[in-house]
Structure 1
Amino acid sequence: MLEHGGNLRDAAQRFGRDDWLDLSTGINPRWYPVPTLPGDAWHRLPEPDPALAAAAAAYYGAPLMLPVAGTQAAIQALPRLRKPSRVAVSAPSYAEHAHHWSDHGHAMTLTPYAQLDAAVAQNDVVVVVNPNNPTGALVPAAQLLQWAEQLAARGGWLVVDEAFGDTAQQHSVASHSDRPGLIVLRSVGKFFGLAGIRLGFVAAHPALLGELADLLGPWTISGPAQHIALAALRDTAWQAETRDYLRTNGDRLRALLAAHDIRSGGTDLFQWWAAPEPEAFWQHMAERGIWIRLFKQAARGVRLGLPPDEAGWRRLQTALTEWSK
């Protein structure tokens, strides 16, 4: 399997400590407060709740949404719904897309963001992570819709992964996802800080959502996950407060890095930069109990998320000061 952030057991085994400040995932460190669950959430088979799909459609602004066991489930399943195709995956970006499109007989190429426009004319499927993970790069919604129209005209797909899109909703194309050929992935793991419940949503044309649902099978979302997500998606007060919190702390992280001569880019949830010595920086932080994400290949650099509290901010500032000396 590919390596991902949040692998604290690996960190503990490698560095022999258990006092980690985990900044490796870009997940909101202040997760949605889980409500009390009814007993039958654990007892009953988790049949699909139409209210959950409706709440997701309202929150994300999409005509129709299919709940899935994290966007990862859709990433793994979508390549199985097409005959062998020419596929361009934005690079650098979340590595699972390229990993799964390279299977199932597809001809997959990694395509830099600057070359995506040309790739639309040469491929059957184009996958764009927007905002990009790990760099935070954004493609305007108008451009994405133009690409989707071009691809759909010849039976192609534009897959847009908006897992980090909650703090950049103005760039979302989910509201247009009822048109053929446009597929949008959304996650409750990042903004809501609920990665552990394994829940995401796919917005697409009804016919494609039906095919995807048949492929994934029954009972894909646990009963507890459905109850928790329904509360989170309807809690507009918490959402507004959290956007303010993430905006303030995203600005704080950018400013802290800039104060140590680090020019970074990203979102309100994380920052990334092409560090000249990424392995050395990662090692420096790990030795101080700060777990960040090291990228060794296409996006050679480092990414770190928001500290959860003032103690975490102080630890990060101290480690950055020691690195700058």
Structure 2
Amino acid sequence: MADGGIAHDTIAHDTIVHGGDLDAARRLFPGAPEPWIDLSTGINPVPYPLPPLIASALHRLPSPGDLARLKAAAAAAYGAPGPDHVAAAPGTQILIETLPRLLPRSRVAVVGPTYAEHAAAWTRSGHAVRMVADPAEAEGADVLVAVSPNNPDGRVFSPAALARAAGGGLVVLDQAFADLEPVEAATPGPAFVILRSFGKTYGLAGLRLGFALAEPALARRLESALGPWAVSGPAIAAGCAALPDAEWRREAAAARGQDAARLDRMIARVGGRVVGGTALFRTADFPDAPGLYRALGEVGIYVRRFPGAPERLRFGLPPDKAAWCRLSRVLR
């Protein structure tokens, strides 16, 4: 999934429900206390400590040199062969929308259930799309789309297994949740396009920054389709500061892993069974998920529900001690 750490359900062909919509939460639970605790997304609740913003990042248009420094930092952080293999964008969602428009009409297999914007974007661009439960079921597809770690169940697919399943076709691998997980990185090339989200890992989703790692010709086509100055000066500055900070990522992975384990224990106390997740979210089945959803909503805690799986809820991580205590009172 890409952008914003949000899995969602397709309710109608052209209607997708996203997490993170506190306006919808307030309509559902008008008497809930403020401020809301939004646990409906998979965004790191402890953001990267950005240095003070240089005023020029707001006053002037980003230069080609600024963008080149950002792409070099992204290539080093994500293991791309070089900055020419990187396309920078205002979030991965726009890349999910743009990529299908650049490729010839194809047979596309999307491994699901997963972030629904993938299938929707390929469908809107006229491709023949089918959902498969496992990459091995993608035989005959020209394009295989997979999210790893997957949202909402946390499934992980090895790049080698995806390449075999694609049988020589293109693999679009969404690794939005990979930064804080011990997963194998994929190498961009003719057979692989990899999507990486900045906002989820660094807790800065509002900046709107994401990357596609691809062979240089396709990376150039993506950036050309997005147009000049697609990435803002503040987003470039934030990326250049945070992406080289490997020590912060290691510390964040350890801390969020501990938080996820704590959340697992709290879920188990109320009879829930964790069925998957990552260091940034946990997905669980409950004996009375609709009742728990209401109980949480009535005290101003918003979690993710799934109309296609009414027994299932997904929890992001609380941001601080007060939020943990508030959640614990309900799950007790």
Structure 1 and Structure 2 fold alike (TM over 0.5)? yes
Aligned to 1:166: 179
Partner amino acid for 2:257?
R
Partner amino acid for 2:173?
V
Shift of 1:298: 6.5
Equivalent residues of 2:70, 2:240 under 8 A apart: yes
Counterpart among 184, 209, 218 of residue 199 in structure 1: 209
For the residues of structure 2 that align with 1:145 and 1:58, how far apart are their CA atoms? 23
Unaligned runs of 5+ in 2: 1-14
Partner amino acid for 2:215?
H
Aligned to 2:18: 4
Aligned to 2:3: none
Aligned to 1:105: 126
Shift of 1:282: 1.7
Shift of 1:129: 0.6
How has the CA–CA distance of structure 1 residues 199 and 305 changed in structure 2, closer, same or farther, with 3 Å as cutoff?
A: same
Counterpart among 263, 266, 273 of residue 284 in structure 2: 273
Shift of 1:215: 1.1
List aligned pairs for 1:208-227, cutoff 5 A. 208-227=218-237
Within the alignment, does 1:75 sit opposite 2:90 as a pair? no
Task: State which drifts further: 48-57 or 11-20.
Answer: 11-20
Counterpart among 256, 260, 263 of residue 270 in structure 2: 260
Unaligned runs of 5+ in 1: none
Aligned to 2:114: 93
TM-score, normalised to structure 1's length? 0.90
Aligned to 2:29: 15
Aligned to 2:9: none
How has the CA–CA distance of structure 1 residues 141 and 45 changed in structure 2, closer, same or farther, with 3 Å as cutoff?
A: same
Within the alignment, does 1:126 sit opposite 2:144 as a pair? yes
Within the alignment, does 1:28 sit opposite 2:47 as a pair? no
For the residues of structure 1 that align with 2:163 and 2:302, how far apart are their CA atoms? 37
Equivalent residues of 1:128, 1:161 under 8 A apart: yes
Shift of 1:147: 3.4
SS at match of 1:25: coil
* Deviations 1:76-109, CA, capped at 9 Å, x for gaps: 0011012221111111100110111111211111
Instruction: Tell me how many residue pairs correspond in the alignment.
Output: 310
For the residues of structure 2 that align with 1:300 and 1:190, how far apart are their CA atoms? 26
SS at match of 2:164: helix
Partner amino acid for 1:283?
R
Within the alignment, does 1:44 sit opposite 2:63 as a pair? no
Partner amino acid for 2:146?
V
How has the CA–CA distance of structure 1 residues 298 and 319 changed in structure 2, closer, same or farther, with 3 Å as cutoff?
A: closer
Equivalent residues of 1:134, 1:299 under 8 A apart: no
SS at match of 1:160: strand
SS at match of 1:83: coil
How has the CA–CA distance of structure 1 residues 136 and 205 changed in structure 2, closer, same or farther, with 3 Å as cutoff?
A: same
For the residues of structure 2 that align with 1:302 and 1:202, how far apart are their CA atoms? 30
For the residues of structure 2 that align with 1:241 and 1:182, how far apart are their CA atoms? 29
Equivalent residues of 2:269, 2:331 under 8 A apart: no
* Deviations 1:174-216, CA, capped at 9 Å, x for gaps: xx21x20210000011111010000001001111111111111
Aligned to 1:58: 76
* Deviations 1:263-318, CA, capped at 9 Å, x for gaps: 21211110012445433332221112110011112796211111111221111111
For the residues of structure 2 that align with 1:290 and 1:267, how far apart are their CA atoms? 20
Shift of 1:47: 3.1
SS at match of 1:219: coil
Within the alignment, does 1:308 sit opposite 2:327 as a pair? no
TM-score, normalised to structure 2's length? 0.88
Aligned to 1:139: 157
How has the CA–CA distance of structure 1 residues 277 and 171 changed in structure 2, closer, same or farther, with 3 Å as cutoff?
A: farther
Partner amino acid for 1:39?
A
For the residues of structure 2 that align with 1:299 and 1:71, how far apart are their CA atoms? 28
How has the CA–CA distance of structure 1 residues 139 and 261 changed in structure 2, closer, same or farther, with 3 Å as cutoff?
A: same
For the residues of structure 2 that align with 1:147 and 1:294, how far apart are their CA atoms? 31
